[in-house]
Each structure stands twice: as C-alpha cells, then as structure tokens.
Amino acid sequence: MTSATAGDYGWIRASSSLFRYALEAGYTLTLVRGVSPAELLRAAGAEPRGVCDGLDELIEQHQELIYASDDWAESVLAGACTVQGEGGDWTLALVFGGDLGSLRLMEALSAGTRAVSHASNGGKPMDFFHWYENGELRTTFEWAANRTGSTPDELNGVMREVGLNPTGDPAPDIDRKAAVFALADRLTGVRVTEELLMEAAYLTGEVPEEPAEEWESITIDITDAHGERTYVQLRRDQL
C-alpha cells in the first residue's frame, strides 16, 4: 500500500490544472485492475470513438458532444488508458459530466479483481467514493462519517491516515477531494498526477446514459422540531 495523503493531491485545485474543469463540470474517475481499456468500454456499452491524445483533447471532445446535443446529451464521453499500479496494469477511465453506468456494471468489472471510483457532480456539493472487491461493494460514502457497503469500517484506519475523519466532521484544513484521491491511491497503487492525465493516450467511447427508472409513487416523510410527523404517499395520478 502506498503512503499517499491529501497533500499529494493539492495540484487538483491549482489554477493551472486542467482537472479544475473536471471539478466544475462533474466527473467520475474509475480504476480497475487487470481489465483493459477496450474491455472496460465494451462492458459499458460504449460506441468507439478512437483515441485522443491528452487531457486537452479529451475535454475538447466532451465539449463537442455537449454542443452537438439539442437539449440533454443521451450519452457521455469516456476516456480510458492503461496505468501502472499495485499488482500490474490497471485501467483508468475518466468521464466528464456523468459516470460509466450502473452498479451492475461496476460489480461486473470488479469480478475477480478490484475497482475503485470517485466522482463529483460539479457545482453541487455531492462527492462520492466506491470500493468494489470481487464483485462486491465493500465501502461507499459521500461523507466519510456516513459509510455503507458490506465492510463499511474496513478502511477507517487508512481514511484517517489520508486526512478523512470516519467518525465526525472533516478537519477544516484538509481538502476532502484531495483526501479521496489519496484513498484511491492507497487502494490501487496508482498515483494520479497532472502529467499522467495530460499526456495519456485515451481510448474513447460514448457511453449511453441509463434511462430513468419508472416510478409509481413518492413518499413525503417529515418530522418537525416539535416531533410532529407528516407521512404521505402519493400515487403518480394524484400529482
């Protein structure tokens, strides 16, 4: 296991860093051991778009995909490349403004191996981390103190070392996003640097967005400051 901490990933906030685009637009960064870029994109149902050289070109292709959409893009652009990590080759996949798809896909990609991903939805304060092992979601969280998964507490020690607090509020001087990068580094042995992202040759593909699930009703469940509870379930035809 590496010794990465949040301090090793301060570059993601630098004004000169192209990763600032990912933080503003939203991104998902996925690392899977022993699965090739082509295999990963094929599993995601991506339509091949060839190879682009470097992060600049990947961003340009993402913007072209957005501008070509009249309203809402029905697919997202994924760029995947081979990187070195613990135990050999890993695939790094980077998606702007979306993700690779469903929980089922991540379970399939991690069958017999390990997969780690983290994401942000851009300007809104929602950031996620997922660790899969042998097809099982082991630890996942938005806030470090609110974890789920089959082994939600297994990473607690490592989380403290990288700068995350698994039992309370994060330290005010720690960049949570940088700490999540460091946690992924610890689990994969892949040191993601600005140079790596800038210079990589990305195999690209358009990954279709999953259709929204049909719903029949919504539930409103609110308890006010006086302990009064309001619980209402409304069918689709009542709205």
- Summarised one tens digit per residue, pLDDT across range 115-169 is 999 999 877 768 999 999 999 999 999 999 999 999 999 999 999 999 999 998 8
Q: Distance between CA atoms of 229 and 217, rounded to whole angstroms? A: 19
Least confident of 20-24, 29-33, 138-142: 20-24
Question: How much is the average pLDDT of 15-40?
Answer: 92
Q: Distance between CA atoms of 188 and 5, rounded to whole angstroms? A: 14
Question: How much is the average pLDDT of 49-71?
Answer: 89
Degrees to nearest 5, angle at CA 182 with 113 and 86: 35
pLDDT at 227: 60
Q: Is the pLDDT of residue 238 over 80?
A: no
Interstrand relation of 229-235 and 88-96 (parallel, antiparallel or unpaired): unpaired
CB neighbour list of residue 229: distance below 8 Å, 6 or more residues apart:
221, 222, 223
pLDDT at 173: 87
Interstrand relation of 201-208 and 75-85 (parallel, antiparallel or unpaired): antiparallel
pLDDT at 202: 98
Model pLDDT for residues 79-93, shown as the tens digit of each residue? 999 999 999 999 999
Model pLDDT for residues 194-235, shown as the tens digit of each residue? 999 999 999 999 998 764 444 455 555 555 556 666 655 555
Q: Is the pLDDT of residue 236 over 50?
A: no
pLDDT at 168: 85
Residue carrying structure tokens 């990933």: 9
Q: Is the pLDDT of residue 45 over 70?
A: yes
Give phi and psi for 165, each to the nearest 5: -110, 105
The helices-and-strands tally (H runs, E runs) of the chain is: 7, 11
Question: How much is the average pLDDT of 165-175?
Answer: 87
CB neighbour list of residue 133: distance below 8 Å, 6 or more residues apart:
110, 114
Asked whether the beta carbons of 166 and 153 are under 8 A apart, the reply is: yes
pTM summary value: 0.85
Give one word for 142, left, alpha or beta, with left for phi > 0 and alpha for psi -120 to 50: alpha
